[in-house]
Structures are given as C-alpha cells and as structure tokens.
Amino acid sequence: MAEVKPDEVSAILRKQLAGFENKIDVYDVGTVLSVGDGIAQVYGLSQVMASELVEFPNNIIGMVLNLDEDSVGCVLFGDSSLIKEGDTVKRTKRVASIPVGEQFLGRVVTPLGIPVDGKGAIQSSQYLPIERKALGVVARQPVTEPLQTGITAVDAMIPIGRGQRELIIGDRQTGKTAVAVDTIINQKYTHSEEAKAEGIEPVYCVYVAVGQKNSTVVQVVSKLEEHGALDYTTVVVAAASDPAPLQYIAPYAGATFAEYFRDNGKHALVVYDDLSKQAVAYRELSLLLRRPPGREAYPGDIFYLHSRLLERASKLSDDLGGGSLTALPIIETQQGDVSAYIPTNVISITDGQIYLEPDLFNAGVRPAINVGISVSRVGGNAQIKAMKKVAGSLKLDLAQYRELAAFAKFGSDLDQATQKTLAKGERLVELLKQGQYAPVPVERQVVAIFAATKGFMENINVKDIKRFEKELLEYIDLSKPELFDTIRKEKVLSDETIEAINSIVSEFQNKFKKS
Amino acid sequence: MSEFVISTRYANALLQTAEENNSFEEALKSIELVYNTLASSDELKSILNSYLISTSKKENILEAIFFGKVSSEVKNFLKLIAIRGRANLLFEICERFIQLSDEKLNRIKVQISSAVELSENQKEDIVKKLEKITNKKIVASYKVDKSIIGGFTARYKDTVIDASVKHQLELLKKKLFEEKYLSN
C-alpha cells in the first residue's frame, strides 16, 4: 500500500496556499427581515443590482428579484429553513451567471452549473450571464440548414431548420419527450467523420428538465447514454423537488450553455421539457413576491418570460461565425385545449408547432403527430432538395386522405378514385409510424417515401408496410448501397438517381413475400 | 403606504421646519433623546403601539415624559404625531430623522469591531482612513468582539470593510475546498 509522506502533504498544501493573497475584503451586506416560502426580504443591500446573486449563511445562494424602496426581495436557491431573521446577506457582485464550456458535455448539472451526476467537479474559466439580450436583426440570417430529427413524419412534412424554434405540444403521455429525445439521438451522425466530409457540422445538444420526476430524468439520461448521445449533450436538471426559483431559471441556464456553442460558430440544439412547468414555477415565485396576478393567476410578464427565452434561438450571420441555436420547447396541454393561456402564448412565439394527439396515440399512430394542423414556418427552406421533392406529394396525398377519412367506413360502396385515395392514405400513415429511439437517416427516409408515393406499395397489405420498408432498405443496403451515398452526398434527386431508385424498388417488389 | 414612506414624510417635515427656524441642532438633540428613550423602554413602545389607548392619552403621556427636555418644535411635533394617530411610528420617525440628519451633515455612523481594545492612535488612524474612503465625517462606535480572532471590521450603512483574521480564514477555507472540487 502506498504511503503518503508528510513532506509531500506539506508541499501540496504550500502550493495551494501559495496563490492565496492576504488582503482586506470590502463587501456590501444586508440583514434578513423575514424569510419563508423560498423568499427572503432583506434590509440594506442598497447597491445591489437586479438579478444579482447574493450569498446567505450556510452557503445558500439567492437572486435579487424585487427592488423596493426600503427592502429587497430575494428568491432562494436552497432550503429556506436554514436562514433566520437577522442573518447577514452578502453581495456577490455577480449578476446571475453560470460557468459554460465544452467540459459540460456529457454531464448532468443544476441550473447553477453544479454537477449532480457524481462524475467529479467541472472546472470552467468562462462565465456567461443567464439572462442575455437576444440578438438584433442585423446579427441574424435566414434559416437554411436542416436539423434532421430522424422522425420521417417530421423531416418530411414539418421540417426543422437550424436556428428555428419548433414547439412540441400535446396532452400528457402523447410522446412529446420521445420526439425530443429521438432528435437528440439522431444528432450522433453529425459528429462523425463522414458528416464532416459531407459538410454537415456537428450539433451539440442541451436537454433541460424542468419540474420532472428525478426518476424520469434518470431514464432519459440512461437512454441517451445507451445510444451514445450523452457525449455531446448537457442535461440541466431542476426537478419537481427543487425550489421554484431553480425551476424558473433552468431554461435560461440551458440556453446559456447552448449559446456558448452558438457564439463560437458551432451549432446547438436545446430542448425545454417543459415550459408549462416553468410557467407554474414563475407564477409561484411572482405570487410570493406579491406581484399582482393576471389571467389564471399568472403574472403580467409571463409572455415576456417565454419570449425572451425563445428569442435567443437564432441563426447567426456569417460575420458572427454562422453558428445556430435551435430550440424545441415542449408544452403540455390539458385535454387538448390549445387555446388556453400559456399554449397560445408560446404558439405565437415559435416558428411552428408539432401537435401530438392522444387519439392518434391510442390508435397506434406513433409518433402521434397530427400532420394536418402541425406546421413549420420555415418549411422547405430547411430541407434537402431530394426530400423536398418527395415530401410534396406525401403531404398532398395525406391531405386528400384526411378529407375522405370520414367515408372510410362505407367500404366498398365508394367509387374507385375515392377507394384508391383511401388505400394510399392508409399505407402512408402506416409508413410514417416509427419506433422509439430508432431515428432514420434522411436518405433512407427519401427512398421510403418515394416508394410509397409512387405507388409501389399499392398491392401490399397495410400490416405488411413496415416490413416492406424494412426489407426494401436492407435490400438496397446489400445490393446497391451507393444509392444511399449518392442521395446523401448530392442532396438532390437527379434523373439518374430517380431511375436507379425506380428500378431497384421494382426489383424488390417482385421479390417481396406477402404474408 | 409603507411605514418607510410615512416616517420619511414626517421626518422630512420636521427637518425642513427646523432648518427654516434655524433650530436644527436642538431639534436633532431632542429627537435623539426621544429615540434613546423609546429604544430603552419597551413599555413606552407598546403603549404608543396600542389601539386601546386614546390619542389624547398618548399625547398627555408624551408631554409628561418630555416636558422641558425637548425643544418647543419637537414638543409640537410629538403632539402632531399623536393627534394624527401615528404614535405607533414614532420610533421609526425618529430613526429616519436621525438618518436624514446624518445625510445632511455628511456624517456616517461606523461600527468598528476589533478583537482587542484599540489604542487611541489606532482608532484615530482607522477613522482618518475611513474618512478618506467615504469622504464623509465619521462618527465611530467601538466594540470588542473576540470571535474575529484578530484585526478589525468596520461596518457603515451596508458596506463592511473586513480586515479580520476570521474572514481571512474563511476565505482560505473556501479556496481550499474549491481546489478540492476543481482538482478532479
């Protein structure tokens, strides 16, 4: 067993103490007037700035939110039972800021940057403020690069671009987190060498868990790790047991972590899961701070709460490095009511929504996306040309199917054309079903949709569609893998490529064994 | 309306009146007397706070206690406060008046705590340095506090100048713990 020599110990201590300067400290203080419910009223602190971090005894940090004439209202990021009236409060002269950097990738942290995954401390030299003003118009450029989610329904009809805000909205248990997690897992490809060769830049992800059960967060983290996605992801946790102020700042902290990448010319994706819980936490804070309640008891600035958060998602101009920050906020609706206060607010802020419906979910359509009312305002600008070509007819076919879906129960009493549309629509819906944690690369999506929309699946039973797709793609992998490479590299469907796809799919069609 | 606003208004009123009549010094001394009396007597405070005692009774009590010991302006001031039903804020009003007077006279009260009794020279040095830093006249009060181990702390308004050994040890402790976390 190794021994620690005494002089080694003193040498280490001397080294650590060497950098320590002995100087007089000047700091500003205040006294706690009252404390309770996570709020402390402090007398004094006359020089304190709004949103500044202050230090309470027992290492509890608080943030100054209310600057009144004779007292200061602070929210506590810790247990308020450890603080008593008369305690001294010190200014830290630091407006709420957190450490950022690449060291946070692969880690699970609190909104203040403290790791909670037990993998050791994180050293960081750069601090960025949690609240930052979003960039102006001149600093941005339009969104043109795609952010591939790996979910066929989304990438085809509700495409997301890098720098866009796309809202994922739905009732509880409809698969909102699943869509977000699948998107994160699909970014693994962007970190590979092949992607680099094709000019695709890596996307760093931040997953912000607000007000969720700790067990749920652990599940998400382990799934991310299992699929190798944790290496480029930071997880920010403010669970349901954490005080409301932490839940309030968690999304801002997540945006700050992601902005580090955006401002350095890289690309980032941030998922806010979910903003409804952040709104509730902010409501709790505001009511305790005696701010006047508005509609549904939410404070008057609840819109500003979300708008300033989401405005930070942007595509920077080339002068500033061309980085981007894409945001996927999640909102939970009650009983499908999208005209409630918070959902309408966030819908008006984001560049599109993905609606998930419980009826579809229960009917087995998963992801339960209602394609009819989901929209992406960036649309085709964020798709590769190949996908744009095939997705156009997909959207149209599905729209026609939805129109006629009500007549489906009349079965054979309908005319030929209607029956054909219905049949095609059913097969398309079946094609768009996808398993969880199984994102599909864009070139395979293109081929699958091409096969479906050009009528190659007409004579296949609906229940065989997924098997057909799977075996078709495997067949191409075995006999003509360069087809996928071509689509991926060229990003367009040239006439030759279309010819090639046509021939290979017909070939496969003859070989397919129906059940 | 908050107590702070009300106390400030009354204090300002007295301040301005005293200035106009050139009796500011006496007013300040009288108010200090009232303040100290209230501070030392909980009974008096609770009587003035009580809703059960009529305003005229409170008026009489105040008159009886302070008759002849305060300037005439302050006597009328106390009467006014009692009549207006603000006797419960008398302590805060006096406090605020003293604060405003300090500002007017460019004075700051500093509480200096040291581990051992300071010599006259040391006290002078500290006060001189503080006067240079704050640019105001210092009114220092001294306290011996063994818990700071060595050195001294000077606290005025909301700022603390901490040259104590205890604080240095705390900073050292923090720095060592930081190193422990960062050295992973």
- Statement: residue A221 has pLDDT above 50: yes
CA-based angle A307:A310:A315, to the nearest 5?
135
Are A195 and A84 in the same domain?
A: no
A136-149 residues labelled b (16+ CB within 10 A) or e (exposed): eeeebbebebbbbb
For A304, how many CA atoms within 13 A lie in the half-sphere containing its CB?
Answer: 5
CA nearest to A152, candidates A403, A410, A365: A365
pLDDT of residue A24: 77
Are A204 and A297 in the same domain?
A: yes
pLDDT of residue B182: 43
Q: Which residues contact B28 (CB under 8 A, 6 or more apart)?
A: B18, B97, B98, B101
- Statement: residue B115 has pLDDT above 80: yes
Confidence tier at B106 by pLDDT (50, 70, 90): confident
pLDDT in tens, B1-54: 678 889 999 999 999 998 898 888 888 888 998 899 889 988 888 888 888 888
Interface of A with B (CB under 8 A): 16-17, 19-20, 22, 24-30, 44-47, 69-70, 120-121, 123
Are A90 and A125 in the same domain?
A: no
Q: Are A485 and A452 in contact (CB under 8 A)?
A: no
pLDDT of residue B1: 65
Contact between B162 and A46 using a beta-carbon 8 Å cutoff = no
Are A107 and A175 in the same domain?
A: yes
Top-confidence residue, A124 or A282: A282
A368 within a domain of the structure (yes/no)? yes
Last residue of a domain, one of A95, A116, A134: A95
A18 within a domain of the structure (yes/no)? no
Top-confidence residue, A367 or B170: A367
Rg (CA), chain B: 22
- Statement: residue A505 has pLDDT above 70: yes
Amino acid B147 reads: S
Q: Which residues contact A348 (CB under 8 A, 6 or more apart)?
A: none
In B, minimum Cα distance to A20 occurs at B172
Are A225 and A343 in the same domain?
A: yes
A392 within a domain of the structure (yes/no)? yes
Domain that holds residue A439: 387-511
- CA gap A31, A40 in Å, rounded: 10
Are A227 and A305 in the same domain?
A: yes
A23 within a domain of the structure (yes/no)? no
- Is A377 one of the annotated active-site residues of the chain? yes
Assign residue A120 a region (left: φ > 0; alpha: ψ between -120 and 50; beta: otherwise).
left
Q: Taking CB atoms and an 8 Å cutoff, what residues of chain B touch A115?
A: none
Are A366 and A504 in the same domain?
A: no
Give the strand pairing for A52-56 and A88-95.
antiparallel
Are A406 and A375 in the same domain?
A: no
Shortest distance between the Cα of A424 and any Cα of chain B, in A, equals: 59
CA B4 to chain centre: 14
Residue linked to tokens 């936490």 = A281
Q: Taking CB atoms and an 8 Å cutoff, what residues of chain A touch B160?
A: 26-29
pLDDT of residue A1: 56
pLDDT of residue A168: 97
In percent, the amount of chain A with pLDDT more than 70 equals 98
Last residue of a domain, one of A383, A412, A444: A383
pLDDT in tens, A108-140: 999 999 999 999 888 888 999 999 888 999 999
Q: From the list B4, B159, B160, which residue is nearest A69 (CB)?
A: B4
Last residue of a domain, one of A383, A403, A420: A383
Structure tokens at A446: 């293109």
- CA gap A22, A15 in Å, rounded: 15
- CA gap A223, A184 in Å, rounded: 11
Greatest distance between any 2 Cα atoms in chain A: 95
Determine which of A167-171, A270-274, A449-453, B124-128 has the lowest per-residue pLDDT on average.
Answer: B124-128
Are A445 and A498 in the same domain?
A: yes
CA-based angle B94:B100:B101, to the nearest 5?
90
Q: Are A370 and A401 in contact (CB under 8 A)?
A: no
pLDDT in tens, A315-342: 999 999 999 999 999 999 999 999 999 9
Domains of chain B: 3-103 (1.10.520.20), 107-182 (no CATH)
Q: From the list A29, A70, A121, which residue is nearest B158 (CB)?
A: A29
How many other β-carbons are positioned within 10 Å of the β-carbon of residue A429? 21
pLDDT of residue A506: 92
Angle in degrees, 0-180, between the axes of helices B72-83 and B3-20, rounded to the nearest 10: 150
- The CATH number of whichever domain residue A449 belongs to comes to 1.20.150.20
- The CATH number of whichever domain residue A294 belongs to comes to 3.40.50.300
A178 within a domain of the structure (yes/no)? yes
Are A211 and A345 in the same domain?
A: yes
Are A135 and A262 in the same domain?
A: yes
Determine which of A280-289, A303-312, B30-39 has the lowest per-residue pLDDT on average.
Answer: B30-39
pLDDT of residue A20: 64
Query: How many domains in chain A?
Result: 3
pLDDT in tens, B126-139: 888 888 888 888 88
Report helix, strand or coil for B4. Answer: helix
In percent, the amount of chain A with pLDDT more than 90 equals 74
- Statement: residue A230 has pLDDT above 90: yes
Strands (E), chain B: 107-114, 137-144, 151-156, 159-164
A15 within a domain of the structure (yes/no)? no
Average pLDDT value for residue range A416-437: 91
Q: Taking CB atoms and an 8 Å cutoff, what residues of chain A touch B157?
A: 44, 46
- CA gap A156, A445 in Å, rounded: 8
Q: Taking CB atoms and an 8 Å cutoff, what residues of chain B touch A16?
A: 175-176, 179
- Statement: residue A15 has pLDDT above 80: no
A3 within a domain of the structure (yes/no)? no
